[in-house]
């Protein structure tokens, strides 16, 4: 018997049917997220439109619309819908804006950004997760999402500057290169801190290259790690 059994949670079997039951559960989820304080109707509509159960293994079909994070492959998680809504609301995405996302994971957050009309550039450091999204047929309905395998600390200098940057892993410090790749007036939403709990910050880039910082609520993310993992 192996000492450690590696379980791959995502994509052994991905659901492709979106029935009335799922749609009903999604409407309830939207009300839950609204009840927790999310007010941006466009963000709420995106959550209502996106079949979250497609982003998880079919074993999670019954629970996919609970307001909870769930495991995906490589010991990573699909973020809680409230957290996705919270970060997206802070980002104030407008159609056609260029958004850099660090931590593709299940691609659910990227889909929410694409629903809002953003051009999404999303980076994942785990090769397996990156490869999984290549075979995710449904996500191809958003040609505005571009996938990259790499280290998010480096960003994507070739595609800079970005209007917005969203980090979906716990950042131990503010990645300087990502600030450099933002437009003046651009925003970064970042769960900041290396302990069990992070504080959500919004950084707005000023004319002189410095950032104005706003501090919001506490959350708990998987860590943002340096380098790639193949």
Q: Which residues bind ligand SAH (CB under 6 A)?
A: 76-79, 102-103, 105-106, 108-109, 123-126, 129, 151-153, 168-169, 222, 224-225
Residue 222 DSSP SS3: coil
In the bound state with ligand SAH, the residue whose beta carbon lies nearer, of 103 and 186, is 103
In the bound state with ligand SAH, the residue whose beta carbon lies nearer, of 148 and 203, is 148
d(CA 60, CA 53): 7
Shortest reach from residue 133's CB to ligand SAH, in Å: 10
Shortest reach from residue 208's CB to ligand SAH, in Å: 27
Tell whether the torsion through CA atoms of 11, 45, 191 and 173 is positive or negative: positive
Within 13 Å of residue 73, how many CA atoms lie on the same side as its CB?
21
In the bound state with ligand SAH, the residue whose beta carbon lies nearer, of 100 and 212, is 100
In the bound state with ligand SAH, the residue whose beta carbon lies nearer, of 45 and 184, is 45
Shortest reach from residue 61's CB to ligand SAH, in Å: 17
Phi, psi of 191 (to 5 degrees): -80, 110
Residues classed as catalytic: 79
- Sequence-distant (≥ 6) Cβ neighbours of residue 50 within 8 angstroms: 108, 111, 112, 115
Tell me: cis bond preceding 29? Omega within 30 of 0 counts. no
Shortest reach from residue 41's CB to ligand SAH, in Å: 21
């Amino acid at each position: 018997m192996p000492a450690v059994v590696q379980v791959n949670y995502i994509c052994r079997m991905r659901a492709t049917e979106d029935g009335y039951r799922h749609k009903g559960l999604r409407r309830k989820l939207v009300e839950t997220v609204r009840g927790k304080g999310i007010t941006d109707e466009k963000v709420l509509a995106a959550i209502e439109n996106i079949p979250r159960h497609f982003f998880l293994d079919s074993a999670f079909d019954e629970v996919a619309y609970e307001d909870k994070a769930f495991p995906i492959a490589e010991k990573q998680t699909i973020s809680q819908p409230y957290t996705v809504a919270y970060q997206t609301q802070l980002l104030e995405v407008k159609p056609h804006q260029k958004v850099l996302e660090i931590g593709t994971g299940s691609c659910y957050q990227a889909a929410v950004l694409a629903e809002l009309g953003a051009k999404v550039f999303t980076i994942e450091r785990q090769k397996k997760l990156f490869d999984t999204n290549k075979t995710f047929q449904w996500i191809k309905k958003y040609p505005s999402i571009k996938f990259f395998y790499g280290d998010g600390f480096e960003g994507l200098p070739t595609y800079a500057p970005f209007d917005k940057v969203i980090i979906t892993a716990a950042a131990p410090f503010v990645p300087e290169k990502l600030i450099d790749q933002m437009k003046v007036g651009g925003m970064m939403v970042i769960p900041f801190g290396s302990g069990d709990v992070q504080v959500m910050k919004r950084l707005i880039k000023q004319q002189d290259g410095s950032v104005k910082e706003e501090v919001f609520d506490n959350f708990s993310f998987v860590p943002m790690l340096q380098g790639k993992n193949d």
